[in-house]
Amino acid sequence: MIGNATMKIFYSSLDMMSAATMPSRLQHVVIGEMAARLGGTVSFYVAEDPAFMYEQYTLRARLALSPAMDGLIFLRLQQFAYGDKIDVAFMGEILDMGYEIHFACENLSIGSRVELEDCFPTLYAFQIHEGNTDENPLYRQYMTADA
Amino acid sequence: MHELKNTFLNEFRETGFAIAHADALDKLELIRRTLFEEAGNLCDAGDDAAAFMNEFHKREMSGAELNDFRMAMIRGFNERLDAGEVIFDAFQDSLLRLVGPDVAVQKSCNIVIQQPGDIDVSPIHRDAPPNSPFEVVLWIPLVDCYGTKGISLLDRKGTNEVIADLRVAGKDGADKVYEKAKRVGHRIEASFGTACFFWTGLMHVIPVNEEVETRWSLNIRYKNLFSPQGAKRLPDFFRILRLSPLADLAIKSERETAMDDR
């Protein structure tokens, strides 16, 4: 645990594609509630450029600095599914760095590679149902072949 | 047995609902006994689960006290038992015939305690939309239900008529439509050991319980994992319960690719 003996430290990642229906202020509330349930608090947040939702460059840049934290809380699983496939490989990279991964909307936590493998059927089912079929206009604007 | 199952499926296809007897009654008994034991941790529940549930109103719990009791009981119940799994086992044959071998189940099983005269009942509604029309609801009485102690379902035809009436009723006419819906609904009388399977697209009415006993019932939803989702989705509302050997094989293969995909 990075935080003090009783408090975990998390970074949060907002979903800018959801901002029209769930403003950032609400996203902070939902993520903050999950952090509290996990016995921690959010110390820093990132928000991706809508043109690079799949790549998550902002988050990758931050992780390259090896920040002192216990894990990441994303607003929702969709943040890993803005490409053709859900980006399980990036989840694995984050876990390999020693960080937990949590999703506030889905109340889903992945703490290790083993848990990631166990969780894969759920992630795969999510990909089939959600994947890149999001009706979000920002998604259509930035992520489709016509962009 | 085969004929009984065909009757069940034909009824379901025709009306949108059908009652099935548990394939494994012991599973339902396990659920009722576990709930009863959890209640026993919170109050003097006696030694007869059915009697305790039927006469629950005599304890005169209401408001916050009833809610606290219910929540504490549900918490303990969920810690001890995977209700989605146990109910699936109880009605496995009927469920597999309806949803197929790749099964998703609602993450939390709802427990309803309806005391005589309690007017806090859900208004007439259907689950889909916003739920998916590819879900089936299992309504499972934990005590014998009769008269207004049960629920009332409109069949497919009745549901379609109500929806058509509502479209032209306007704000002032909706009450009349709802009153008609209550009259034409099929009253579901079901004993412990059975479940009413109904399609999420059906309108249903929960009457005020005017009998002298309390209703205890469960409700939970199942769907095929690969069927279209509604607004209540996987993984926040549903979870995977069963994978067919084929889907299991395919997903493992996909996993190997996905984990190395950089």
What are the pLDDT digits (tens) for A66-116?
A: 999 999 999 999 999 988 789 999 999 999 999 999 999 999 999 999 999
Model confidence at B231: pLDDT above 50:
yes
Would you call A117 an interface residue with chain B, using a CB distance cutoff of 8 Å?
A: yes
Domain with residues B2-24+93-243, CATH architecture: Sandwich (2.60)
Q: What is the ipTM of this complex?
A: 0.74
Q: CA–CA distance from B239 to each of B13, B28, B36, B104 (Å)?
A: 26, 21, 26, 5
Option in B239, B251, B262 nearest A89 (CB): B262
Q: What is the pLDDT of residues B102-148, one digit of tens each?
A: 999 999 999 999 999 998 888 889 999 999 999 999 999 999 999 99
Q: Given this model, what pLDDT does residue A124 score?
A: 93
Q: What is the pLDDT of residues B67-90, one digit of tens each?
A: 899 999 988 998 999 999 999 999
Say which residues have a Cβ less than 8 Å from residue B66's Cβ, sequence separation at least 6: B113
Would you call A121 an interface residue with chain B, using a CB distance cutoff of 8 Å?
A: yes
Residue B231, judged by CB atoms within 10 A of its CB (0-12, 13-18, 19+), counts as exposed
Flag the least confident range among A33-42, B72-81, B207-216: B72-81
Counts for chain B of helices (H) and strands (E), in that order: 8, 10
Would you call A44 an interface residue with chain B, using a CB distance cutoff of 8 Å?
A: no
For residues B39 and A6, the model is more confident at: B39
Q: Assess contact for A103 and A76: CB atoms under 8 A.
A: yes
Give SS3 for B125.
strand
Q: Report how far residue A92's alpha carbon sits from residue B13's, in angstroms, rounded to the nearest whole number.
A: 45
Contact check, Cβ <8 Å, B259/A89 = yes
Number of domains in chain A: 1
Write the DSSP string, B166-183: HHHHHHHHHHHHHHHHHH
Query: Domain ranges in chain B?
Result: 2-24+93-243
Domain encompassing residue A56: 8-143
Domain assignment of residue A53, yes or no: yes
For residues A44 and B4, the model is more confident at: A44
Q: Given this model, what pLDDT does residue B167 score?
A: 87
Say which residues have a Cβ less than 8 Å from residue B93's Cβ, sequence separation at least 6: B5, B23
Q: What is the pLDDT of residues B12-26, one digit of tens each?
A: 999 999 999 999 999
Q: What CATH code is carried by the domain that includes residue A99?
A: 3.40.50.1390
For chain B, how long is the longest CA-to-CA vector?
A: 65
Contact check, Cβ <8 Å, A121/B234 = no
Option in B233, B235, B258 nearest A88 (CB): B258
Which positions in chain B have a beta carbon within 8 angstroms of at least one beta carbon in chain A? 104, 225-226, 228-229, 233-236, 239-240, 243, 248, 251, 254-255, 258-262
Domain assignment of residue A2, yes or no: no
Say which residues have a Cβ less than 8 Å from residue B61's Cβ, sequence separation at least 6: B69
Domain assignment of residue A3, yes or no: no
Contacts 24+ apart (CB under 8 A), A97-102: A97/A63, A97/A66, A99/A63, A99/A69, A99/A70, A99/A71, A99/A72, A100/A70, A100/A71, A100/A72, A101/A71, A101/A72, A101/A74, A102/A10, A102/A34, A102/A38, A102/A71, A102/A72, A102/A73, A102/A74
Tally of residues, chain B: 262
| Per-residue DSSP letter, B228 | P
Q: Given this model, what pLDDT does residue A131 score?
A: 61
Taking contacts as CB-CB distances below 8 angstroms, the residues of chain A near B229 are: 129
**Minimum distance, in Å, between the CA of residue A13 and any CA atom of chain B:** 18
Backbone angles phi, psi at B153, to 5 degrees: -120, 140
Q: What is the pLDDT of residues B159-200, one digit of tens each?
A: 999 999 888 887 778 888 888 888 889 999 999 999 999 999
A to B CB pairs, distance under 8 Å: 54
* Angle (nearest 5°) at CA B160 between B159 and B161: 90
Backbone angles phi, psi at A112, to 5 degrees: -160, 170
Contact check, Cβ <8 Å, B255/A106 = no
Q: Report how far residue B261's alpha carbon sits from residue B255's, in angstroms, rounded to the nearest whole number.
A: 10
Q: Report how far residue B212's alpha carbon sits from residue B262's, in angstroms, rounded to the nearest whole number.
A: 65
Express as a percent the part of chain B with pLDDT over 90: 75
